Chain A
Amino acid sequence: MSFKFIERSKLWFTISSVIVILGMISLATLGLNFGIDFTGGTRIQAEFPEGTTNDQIRTALSNVNATDAQGREANLGNSFVQSLDEGAFSIRTLPLDEEEQDRVVEALETEFPGFTVLSGPDIVGPTVGAELIKNAILALLIAAALLVVYISIRFEFKFAVSAIVTLLFDAFVVLTVFSVTQIELNSPFVAAILTIVGYSINDTIVVFDRIRENLKFPGKDLAAKVDRAISQSVVRTINTSLTTLLVLGSILFLAGDTLRPFALPLFVGVISGTYSSIFLAGSFWHAWKLRERSKKIA
């Protein structure tokens, strides 16, 4: 007895395509909120008196001028202000020199009694962000290449490519979460994407391991073998995701602002990883295998 996953392959492909299209729409319209690590700039995290709003902070900042990268006078009223836990705010401006920083702190101190700097000023040059992206893409490509080699040796090339497709889907879902929620993209983003890549591959391989084992048994019905493999591993897939989600959920709700932008994409990514290893990975591999067979017959 097993659930007919493969029979409904078209449904899974449709659902997955819809998710990808929605993600693309979000990326095209909302875009991504690149943080200080990518754009460069100055960031200050500070505590403000109770009831302070983003607008009040922006108004106070608009009284301060600074020189931008092109040497023009710019008004700091356009700075990115985000509220954190317990009356704290994160303020991101264009890169400031020491004298400009002092002016900002002074302006905020006069406007808001009880203003205390918690962290910063952090200053990040624009080159650092560009390198971060370059290194992350390089790391992803190298990891993907090594995974293809390893899976091709232990399984076969088609499993390797199917696993990579599943993994790209999950990474894209994480990227979409960053777009929809407008969470700032900083270096934890790179770690989040790569974690999901690691998690997703782990999940997918457990299913493929079972397909590999079932292929050794007699019988020609490929779809039935894949269905059985997914059914045999589905309790494990769900339980593992549940335990991981229990831990991630605790971080999400309890660990505070510093880890939340990291935990939320991971939370959604683990759900996506579970979905894709149950519904997408096996179906994709099966569809490919089937096309190859029909070609051989024709």
Chain B
Amino acid sequence: MIRYKSVIALVVLLALVAAAGYFAIPIIRQEVKLGLDLQGGVYVLLEAKATDRSEVNDEAIRGTIEVLRNRIDELGVLEPVIQREGENRIRIEVADAEQDPESVLALIGQTALLEFLDPSGETALTGANLTNARAVYDSQDNRPAVSLELDSEGAAIFAELTRSVAGTGIPIPIVLDGQVISSPTVRQGVVITDGKAIIQNVGSIEDAARIAGLLRSGALPLELERLEIRAVGPELGSQSLLRSLYAGGLGLLFVIAFMIVFYKVPGIVASISLTIYLLLVMATLVGLNAVLTLPGIAGLILTIGMAVDANVIIFERIKEEIRNGKTLRSGVESGFKRAITTILDSNVTTLIVGFVLFAFGTGPVRGFALTLVIGVLISMITAVFVTRLIVKLVVNTNIIKSTKFFGV
């Protein structure tokens, strides 16, 4: 006798899964963050070195990151990643393939320490007293220049400086990163009290804009050495993404076909819980704001194999119980119970490897480890709860009476 209550429960469950998939997939597709390798962009790893102005310490690193952030914000890219790594390293990721790597590097490399020297050659004023810098065309010769505005303290020092050299023909050298870029003199009787100065001889208007941008974001407290630079073009990235998704999709179909041929009805159940598994993993990645990289996708594809494993262990155990003379119903019950310790021990060992990888790995290894750990955890949950629920519902409907449908 067919139990309609279980049939209805099964149908409702399947409809829920289908609906969840239908609504979740577009959201996941929109929300998932792609790594540099998939959408193109620039990655730079820098090592901070002490300068005569600052030691490498937490404060100086924070200051450096702040300055770098200001500079990269000038590029107008979306969500650049600027993070400290270890003691003295800074990692920058600009996931914008349209961005020329050279322009990113030009912004990062320069210290941008601005100094005004007094007649004795000492530093009278630095960029720290700057409130604004803009690229302009000089009103006198109509050539590109950078106009500066100083704060009140800077304006007072600058007024004193101009008074001391006015009419003497002694220049006020303006030095950027140790190089004199402009040496204006001050005419007799002129005292500049409004804190406005101009740097001439800056080259093209683009150069003026770049220097103004660097000055606005402030000088880097530390010297930065480039340890690693990676640039990925947009075409290569999207090609890799498409091909690996295609490969993953096909692999998934093969697995589903294999499971159904080999395990019959439970194989269909495994395919359903595999779909649920993939939806949950993607939703978790989106929820954690994780960035999906190519090794991450590889890890994900690999966990498909491992997610199936839990189902295989269960179904093999059920078959064995039935062969040993148990009925379908009690075979399913004891098969699940016995399979769980196996699944637990084998997955905990894989999880240990995943956690260690995540803790000690860097870059691509971490992305891989994250998807591996999430994959293993969710595969355990779907195998133990989802597969069990559906198999039990199927058995309870009484539609399937022969153990033949369980591949025995």
Contact = CB atoms under 8 A, between A and B. Distances in A.
- Do A and B pair up? The answer is yes
Interface string A246-257: 111111011110
A206 B231 contact: no
Interface residues of B, number: 68
Interface stretch (A21-29, A56-64, A134-142, A284-292): A134-142
B331 interface: no
A252 to B, nearest CB: 8
Nearest to B44: A123
A262 B300 CA distance: 14
B352 A254 contact: no
Contacts of B364: 187-188, 191
A239 B295 contact: no
Interface in B229-243: 229-233, 235-236, 239-240, 243
A-side interface mostly: helix
A123 B228 contact: yes
A188 B295 contact: yes
B38 to A, nearest CB: 10
B313 interface: yes
Contact of B255 (A150, A191, A210, A243): A243
A251 B244 contact: yes
Contacts of B352: 143, 146-147, 150
A18 B346 CA distance: 29
B365 interface: yes
B250 A209 contact: no
A198 B354 contact: yes
Contacts of B246: 254-255
Contacts of A152: none
A258 B294 CA distance: 8
A119 B233 contact: yes
A233 B240 CA distance: 37
Given A118-B236, A143-B352, A246-B254, A194 B365 contact: yes
Contact of B295 (A123, A191, A247): A191
Interface string B316-358: 1000100000000000000000000110011111101110110
Given A187-B363, A243-B312, 14 more contacts: A124-B230, A125-B228, A151-B349, A187-B362, A195-B302, A198-B354, A202-B349, A240-B312, A243-B258, A250-B247, A251-B301, A253-B247, A255-B240, A259-B294
17 contacts: A117-B233, A123-B230, A128-B227, A135-B360, A139-B360, A147-B353, A187-B362, A191-B364, A194-B353, A194-B365, A195-B368, A201-B353, A202-B309, A236-B316, A243-B255, A254-B243, A255-B246
